[in-house]
Amino acid sequence: MDNLKVLIITNYGFFPTELRNFQLLKSLPNLKTIRLEKVSILSLCKAPVLLKSLKKISLFMCKIGQAFQNFTIQVSDALSNLMEINIDYCNDLVELPAVLCDVICLKKLSITNCHQLSALPNGIGKLVNLEVFRLGSCTDLSELPESIRSFHKLCILDLSDCLCIRHFPKDIGELCNLKELHMKGCLNLSKGLPPSTTNLEQLKLVICDEEGLGFSNHDF
């Protein structure tokens, strides 16, 4: 199947089913998209697999706590052209794997409804080409790393319903291309945003709960 471009694996059972032998994907040289639903992944790269054509990975209701461990090759080599990662309802994700910070060509990172996610690696600042960053409904996440100030190409930052977020990085004003900021439901941002927010000259849209944050959209 040399010409296969999209691989979708969907489990319709009640419990996640274990998926192995990812090394077989090396026989799909033109694979561009992978979508996995309700599967358990022990490791994506226990055996060397170069997916140089892969552009997008989507993981929905998967068990991925061990998926990005035990890499035998550099993830930047294995996924050298990956541009989009979507992770949704993966409830065993506690901390974003640091190895993903080496996928520097990434343009979109969406982690939503992962209620156990409590930390992001400081190395996430290496994703300097990121344009869209979504963390919607990651209810245990309490802060963003200061290193996100390196996201100079970021256009959309979505923190909707991140209930435990208490403050933003003080240098958030360095996100010079930010156009949209979504923070509806961030009820713990009682002190508002840091002063550097006034440097966000490209900001066009702010979505928030005015009563809970103590300021209005007119402040931007």
| 120-140 residue pLDDT tens | 999 999 999 999 999 999 999
Q: What is the pLDDT of residues 158-176, one digit of tens each?
A: 999 999 998 889 999 999 9
* C-beta separation of 73 from 100 below 8 A: no
Per-residue CA distances from 183 to 94, 138, 164, 169 (Å) = 21, 12, 12, 14
Q: What is the pLDDT of residues 63-95, one digit of tens each?
A: 998 777 666 667 777 788 999 999 999 999 999
pTM: 0.91
Per-residue CA distances from 17 to 6, 9, 155 (Å) = 20, 11, 37
Domain boundaries, the chain: 1-82, 85-220
Q: CA-CA distance, 68 to 31, in Å (whole number)?
A: 19
199 CA to centre of own chain: 25
pLDDT of amino acid 105:
95
194: left (phi over 0), alpha (psi -120 to 50) or beta: beta
The pair of structure tokens assigned to 193 is: 């945003």
CATH class of 85-220: alpha beta
